[in-house]
Structure 1
Amino acid sequence: MNTIENLTEYLKNSVSPFHMVGHSIDLLDQAGFIPLSSKESWTLEKGKGYYCRTFSGELFAFKIGRDADLSKGVHIGGAHTDWPCLRVKPNGTFNKKGYLQINAEIYGGPILSTFFDRPLSIAGRLALKSKDLLNPDVVYVDLKKPVLTIPNLAIHMSRSEENAGGLDKQTHLMPLCAMVNETLNQDDYLLRYIAGSTGVKYEDILDFELYIYNPEEPQLVGLNGEFLSSPRLDNATSACALIYGLMDSSPSDRISLAALFDNEEIGSRTKQGADSQMLSIILEKIWASLGRDRISFLSDIQGSMILSVDVGHGFHPNYPASYDITTYPKLGSGFVIKMDSNQKYTWDCEAVGGLMNLCQTFGIPYQRCVKRTGQAGGGTIGSPLSAQVPVKTVDIGVPLLAMHSARELMGTADQISLTDAVTRFFTA
């Protein structure tokens, strides 16, 4: 398959952070990478690839060059596995005048209006009873079909004064899932339905993390198919580029590592987020398994570099006043190097210059991007990553339109340039 076909398949399979990691592992297994446990000591060999799933939504995969010189450090690419959406609350179903509804809460900062009037599905994981009391069994869930929808209020009614307050996030975002009748058991109906669909006993379910997602498939758009419209482009585009870039890379004298973190959309400050010590722990375990002590590790790591890979804001021709007057990325013109003097995007001229040199050497299209002065633009994992592992870091990604929508838009050429840049970075 080509780069866009790979991305399309990746998007279809990435219906929750847990499923994105699971699909990445399937790809790594096919490529001959060796699984590791974070709970065990490692015996690693040069010339081989490995991966470690530390938490359900977090993954580290790396290749050790045949002639790896640890004093040169490691080339790291990081991305996140989550996206803004709705999630099911505990006690997730309730009856309102014969309509069975889901009690949902907002995760991150989605464009809420885009989740209305769409077919929606549910994916995530269940914690099940086990003999190991504090370590329940975990089962991953994907209903795959549209089971929910959030209808809009008709325009004739929404003009009324009683609706002048706008969207109420508690009452207006409750998806419909069924109509109540005499044969319908309303008590935990959603979990009973999921248990039956998943092949587990309802009585064994202890807890859950369930995401409400858009099951519509990616689709090429445009007279020449130059755009890709899809849910979850933020940030499956980046994770896909890192996994395929690592698999296709050929590092000879260094280590290359792809890191996928959860919870970027809510600040990254969790055990499975980029603002934790897990990356440092993984790196130190690699160094120790190859015979280097901690002092050597702390010295060697200074030769490293990080690419924080996350989507950027593409220029929207209908809203030109929202962008910088000279430096704005267009869809289809290459991936973006994101720069911000306040370090919401992480960069410095030495790190950016090195990446530009690599791209120019191999003819890889890229653009630079800065925000309009005074305009908020969001953050990435770059700042917490570079604080936890203080080495040169650059924020890059594909430019998007409709970022944080239930369905976003990108240029297909930009995914190709991003994947090429990541592959060359991992090989350099």
Structure 2
Amino acid sequence: MEISAQSSALAQDLLAFIDASPSPWHAVQTVAERLRGAGFVPLREDERWQLAAGGRYYVVRGGASIIAFVAGSAALSASGFRLVGAHTDSPGLRLKPRALQAGDGLLRLGVEVYGGPILATFADRDLGLAGRVAVRGVDSPVLRLVRFGEPLLRLPNLAIHMNREVNENGLKFNKQTELPLVLGLAGAGKADEGCFRALLAARLAVAPDDILSWELNAYDTQPGAFWGASKEFVADGQLDNLASCHAGLCALLAADSPRTTNVCAFFDHEEVGSESATGAGGSFVADVLRRVAASLGLDDESYRCALARSFVISADMAHAYHPNFPNAYEPAHRVAVNGGPVIKINANQRYSTGADSAARFILFCEKAGVPYQHYAHRTDLGCGSTIGPIVAAGLGVASVDVGSPMWAMHSARESAGVLDHGYMIGALSAAFSD
């Protein structure tokens, strides 16, 4: 398979984007840095907005959700919004508030399972730690990002000599007793109690007593990589769903003086149901769209006309066919890696796609000159969902669910196709230039 230099460059930029974003808060920081570099102006939710036609803006809520938009040249009430939605969070292991456990000569950190990760894939990996920490400020707490990029933690496997049936029964962990991550050797009593807090304080250059709270996740420190005979695949953590965030961001930045008002909305908490102030089930996207409309002079009636003419593309990853496990797939819907964007369909509305919205996305793919595929889940297996149905229901806007095909979804290290990422950027760029 021939991989063009452009496709490889886009995939390399994706890996750099992911490796700079080991937590949802870092992901939003990475997106915001790229937006500012392209001339986007930051807005605050607690201040009045004054937007200009053709202006480029973004706003952050809760540190882990971000919405960026470009005010189009056409009248908003006549053209509507063109919105690409994705999510910044990935399944994994989150530290508990009182995480440190000292005993049996070791220091370990207690974790909660966030979302639905493949727990076995976190074993025997070089794990770092990333997230945000609230530290004492002069008048109020200050939120600081923190990252331990070097291997800091580990979940050592049990030797096969003590787990003889692991290859027959699979690797399983008790979520309470068998997931604490090894941090180091225990010392003497009281020194152990403040060990982790002191570690955080040293990284942030603050006093240990100034640390008030934290939200931290373990992550695989191995950088992303190309693999395959022709380097046609990529492997990294968090491809689900930072690959979609990166594709949407690239498409937004590439749209030069768009006619429609283009929006990228990247939400936290999709992996745990989206029901939060920063999730797709919250008010964030509706609040932003309404404020954009009001700032551009639309009354309520005109705003509702704009919504009726709007379109949402929910971009999440899709299940690629794995030939080692053929019985896991619907026989007529075997999606191929490097076969193009996948239109995801579910009769029970786990995906938001309808015949009308699928057709619109097909036209975007044709305009961009990229292939496309269709996916339906096996009828006798439970189907995952996305932000698509949530945003579509909240706004009352037509929506389609799409994604790039991948293997090992929710693994600590996932795989996808080099060509597919460029294909998705092309399709989303066509949507933003329509």
Q: TM-score scaled to structure 2, two decimals?
A: 0.95
* Matching residue of 2:342: 336
Match of 2:267 in 1: 261
Match of 2:250 in 1: 244
1:169 aligns with: 175
**1:34 corresponding residue in structure 2:** 41
245-254 vs 264-273, greater mean Cα deviation: 245-254
The alignment status of 1:414 with 2:424, answered yes or no, reads: no
Partners of 1:407 and 1:5 in 2: how far apart? 16
Q: How far apart, CA to CA, are the structure 2 residues paired with 1:104 and 1:362?
A: 44
* Structure 1 residue 73: Cα displacement: 0.7
- Is contact 2:353–2:400 with CA below 8 Å preserved after alignment? yes
Within 5 Å, give how 1:193-208 maps onto structure 2: 193-208=199-214
Q: 1:341 offset after TM fit, Å? A: 0.7
What is the CA-CA distance between 1:28 and the residue it aligns to? 0.5
In the TM superposition, what whole-angstrom CA distance separates every residue of 1:279-337 from its partner, at most 9, and x where no partner exists? 11100100111111122212221100000010010000000111111122110111111
Q: State the partner residue of 1:93.
A: 100
1:71 CA drift (Å): 2.2
Task: Give the conservation status (yes or no) of the 8 Å contact 1:122–1:143.
Answer: yes
2:74 equivalent to 1:70: no
Per-residue CA deviation, residues 17-62 of structure 1 (Å, 9 max, x unaligned), is: 0000000001001101111111111111112211111220000000
- Identify the residue that residue 10 of structure 2 maps to in structure 1: 3
1:151 aligns with 2:156: yes
1:426: which partner in 2?
432
Distance 1:31 1:324 in 2: 43
Alignment of 1:124-143 (within 5 A): 124-133=131-140, 136-143=141-148
Query: Alignment partner for residue 178 of structure 1, among 184, 193, 202?
Result: 184
CA contact (8 A) 1:72 1:301 kept: no
Q: Does 2:53 correspond to 1:46?
A: yes
Q: Deviations over 1:66-103 (max 9, x none)?
A: 34443211000000000010011011111121111011
Confirm or deny: 8 A CA contact 2:120 2:172 kept in the other structure: no
Q: Which residue of 1 aligns with 2:68?
A: 61
Output the CA distance in 1 between the equivalents of 2:154 and 2:243: 26
Deviation at 1:159? 3.2
Distance 2:23 2:327 in 1: 34
Partner of 2:406: 400
- Structure 2 residue 27 is the aligned partner of structure 1 residue 24: no
CA distance in 1, matches of 2:246, 2:281: 21
1:231 aligns to what? 237
Equivalences for residues 93-132 of structure 1 within 5 A: 93-132=100-139
8 Å CA contact 1:275, 1:384 repeated in 2: yes
TM-score of the superposition, structure 1-length normalised? 0.96
Asked if 2 retains the 8 angstrom alpha-carbon contact of 1:120 and 1:213, the reply is yes
Q: Kindly provide the amino acid, as one letter, of the partner of residue 142 in structure 2.
A: D
| Matches of 1:331 and 1:207, distance apart in 2 | 42
User: What is the identity percentage for the equivalent residue pairs of Structure 1 and Structure 2?
Assistant: 34
Partner residue, 1:366: 372
Tell me the distance in 2 between the aligned counterparts of 1:212 and 1:418.
29
The 1:160–1:315 alpha-carbon spacing in structure 2 relative to 1, beyond 3 Å, is closer
- Structure 2: any 5+ residue segments left out of the alignment? 1-5
SS of the residue corresponding to residue 152 of structure 2 reads: coil
SS in 2 for 1:121: strand
Q: Which runs of 4+ in 1 moved over 4 A?
A: none
Structure 1 residue 397: Cα displacement: 0.9
Structure 2 counterpart of 1:189: 195
The CA distance in 1 between the partners of 2:383 and 2:414, in whole Å, is: 16
Does the CA-based 8 Å contact 2:364-2:428 persist in structure 1? Answer: no
Supply the distance in 1 between the matched residues of 2:361 and 2:122 (Cα, whole angstroms).
37
Q: Is the 8 A contact 2:153 2:182 kept in 1?
A: yes
When residues 373 and 251 of structure 1 are mapped into structure 2, their CA distance, relative to the original with a 3 A threshold, is farther
Structure 1 counterpart of 2:78, one-letter code = S
2:62 aligned partner, one-letter code: F
Q: What one-letter code is carried by the residue in structure 2 that aligns with 1:348?
A: G
In structure 1, distance between residues paired with 2:179 and 2:301: 53
Q: For residue 298 of structure 2, what is the aligned residue in structure 1?
A: 292
Provide the rounded CA distance (Å) in 2 between the counterparts of 1:310 and 1:14. Answer: 17
Structure 1: which amino acid aligns with 2:55?
A: K
Matches of 1:199 and 1:271, distance apart in 2:
31
Distance 2:92 2:137 in 1: 30
> Does residue 209 of the first structure (1) align with residue 219 of the second (2)?
no
